[in-house]
């Protein structure tokens, strides 16, 4: 990267401390020193206001700058579109949104309609509103409950948070929205039923049928899951899991919503995470982060044609259509960024690189299983995690503070990694890595070396 323009970094840090309210940060930590202020990025590298360069193993901190920093073609395309026509409310059409709808649905056989909005949380809110509207349109207004999985995360709005299985994220924000019901996670390392795969009879999936029966099938409208649990610990379910889950839902008329906000648009090595699993057949798919690699804010709620047609109701009934709007669903620039992002993924064969480099990264991480405090390594594609424990026999989680120290030591070495962030009491013990799709073997080696040094310093 070129040297950034001269910056008065202390002035910016002071202004930041005075005026900016950061996400997920206890600001007492900035009392002596302000936050990292990122001023430039190229590929996987970012540079701060003090001129220090980092290798970003988190794709922007929250797994979204998937094609890497510094993509001129996305910026140029967005600029041209904004000059021509930046915005009109989505009650009308615009050319980029039409082109994006055709392009993105081509990757999802069985899904044909997209609803545009602004963020992953909003995309999930739209899905929930569709489910609850369908209950009325079907004549069974009670079929509104939505099942969600422990450890999955579906967003920061009160509705999306109500469907998230991360207790610490919910603290103090209640009362939450009624009608959301939790079912067990799918983490084999910490099986909720004390069993071992493959002799477990997939009880984690089959438990959903018991919960549907307890709640009453006539009251359950949908189930939402991340295809691979991301922030909740990097948890890929076993291969048969979604075939079992989908079959249960079909028998009880329960719609399946796949939250692809993290996994979607290539993160796991297929265009969508659910496509890693035979038998996974969603009725709705939500996505956001990777849609435009965060160059512009955009999210999508995709549905089947049957769901769309259910809203083609008696026009004399003034309420019988999807009465919802998202202001930024009309942003032509966001759709333009998404189209260019998809072209880059296709033209540069980045899904192939995700598979190859994901395997290389996972193989490197598995070498840490020889360490006394590394209990498990999990992942798919470029979505990988290590679970730290105090000892392998008890599997007692390593204290969160130790994982924070490891991440901090890696940052000091110039590598930015992520971690489970105050989501589960006593279980925030997972370090995660999700580098951009353009990552190289040499860059993965740099990540692994920094991790090795950090673990050695913190844990010995």
- Cα–Cα distance, 190 to 235 (Å, whole number): 10
Instruction: Give me the pLDDT at residue 106, please.
Output: 98
Domain presence at residue 100: yes
- Cα–Cα distance, 392 to 396 (Å, whole number): 8
Backbone angles phi, psi at 221, to 5 degrees: -100, -30
Domain presence at residue 434: no
pLDDT tens, position by position, 243-277: 999 999 999 999 999 999 999 999 999 999 999 99
Domain presence at residue 25: no
- Classify the C-alpha dihedral 123-127-130-132 as positive or negative: negative
CA dihedral 260, 263, 269, 271 (to 10 degrees): 30
pLDDT tens, position by position, 127-172: 999 999 999 999 999 999 999 999 999 999 999 999 999 999 999 9
Domain presence at residue 59: no
Number of domains making up the chain: 1
CATH code for the domain of 176: 3.40.640.10
Is residue 208 within 8 A of residue 246, CB to CB? The reply is: no
Domain presence at residue 182: yes
Length of the chain, please?
Answer: 460
Tokens for 145, please give them.
């409950």
Task: Return the ∠ at Cα 291 (arms to 288 and 292), rounded to 5°.
Answer: 115
Is residue 286 within 8 A of residue 127, CB to CB? The reply is: yes
Domain presence at residue 375: no
Note down the domain range covering 101. Answer: 73-347
- What is the DSSP secondary-structure string of 122-187? HHHHHHHHHHHHHHHHHT-TTTTEEEEEBT----SSHHHHHT-B-HHHHTTS-S--SSEEEE----
19-28, 324-333, 435-444: which has the highest mean pLDDT?
Answer: 435-444
Averaged pLDDT, 32-59: 92
Domain presence at residue 342: yes
Tokens for 394, please give them.
């008890």
- Cα–Cα distance, 40 to 457 (Å, whole number): 30
Q: Where does the pLDDT of residue 29 fall: very low under 50, low under 70, confident under 90, or very high at 90 and above? A: confident
Longest CA pairwise span in the chain (Å): 72
Domain presence at residue 389: no
């Amino acid at each position: 990267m070129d040297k950034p323009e001269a910056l008065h970094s202390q002035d910016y840090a002071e202004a930041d401390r005075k005026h900016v309210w950061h996400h997920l940060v206890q600001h007492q930590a900035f009392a002596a020193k302000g936050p990292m202020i990122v001023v430039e990025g190229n590929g996987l590298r970012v540079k701060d206001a003090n001129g220090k360069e980092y290798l970003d193993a988190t794709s922007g901190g929250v797994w979204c700058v998937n094609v890497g920093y510094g993509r001129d073609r996305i910026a140029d395309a967005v600029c041209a579109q904004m000059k021509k026509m930046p915005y009109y409310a989505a009650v009308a059409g615009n050319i980029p949104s039409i082109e994006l709808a055709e392009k993105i649905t081509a990757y999802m056989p069985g899904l044909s309609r997209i609803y545009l909005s602004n963020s992953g949380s909003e995309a999930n809110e739209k899905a929930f509103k569709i489910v609850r509207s369908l209950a009325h349109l079907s004549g069974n207004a009670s079929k509104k409950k939505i099942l969600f999985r422990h450890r999955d995360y579906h967003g920061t709005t009160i509705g999306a948070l109500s469907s998230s299985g991360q207790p610490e994220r919910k603290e103090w924000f209640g009362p939450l929205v009624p009608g959301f019901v939790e079912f067990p996670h799918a983490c084999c390392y910490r099986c909720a039923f004390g069993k071992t795969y493959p002799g477990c009879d997939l009880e984690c999936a089959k438990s959903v049928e018991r919960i549907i029966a307890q709640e009453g099938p006539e009251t359950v409208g949908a189930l939402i899951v991340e295809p691979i649990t991301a922030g909740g610990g990097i948890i890929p379910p076993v291969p048969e899991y979604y075939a079992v889950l989908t079959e249960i839902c079909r028998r009880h008329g329960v719609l399946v919503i796949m939250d692809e906000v993290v996994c979607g648009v290539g993160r796991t090595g297929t265009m969508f995470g659910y496509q890693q699993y035979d038998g996974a057949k969603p009725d709705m798919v939500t996505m956001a982060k990777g849609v435009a690699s965060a160059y512009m804010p955009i999210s999508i709620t995709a549905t089947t044609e049957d769901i769309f047609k259910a809203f083609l109701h008696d026009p004399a009934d003034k309420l019988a259509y999807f009465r919802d709007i998202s202001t930024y669903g009309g942003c032509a620039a966001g759709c333009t960024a998404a189209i260019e992002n998809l072209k880059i993924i296709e033209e540069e064969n980045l899904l192939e690189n995700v598979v190859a480099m994901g395997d290389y990264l996972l193989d490197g991480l598995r070498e840490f299983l020889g360490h006394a405090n590394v209990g498990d390594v999990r992942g798919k594609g470029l979505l990988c995690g290590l679970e730290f424990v105090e000892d392998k026999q008890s599997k007692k989680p390593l204290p969160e503070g130790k994982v924070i120290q490891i991440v901090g030591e890696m940052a000091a070495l110039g590598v930015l990694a992520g971690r489970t962030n105050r989501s589960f009491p006593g279980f925030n013990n997972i370090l995660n890595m999700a580098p951009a799709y353009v990552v190289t073997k040499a860059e993965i080696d740099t990540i692994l070396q920094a991790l090795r040094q950090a673990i050695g310093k913190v844990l010995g």
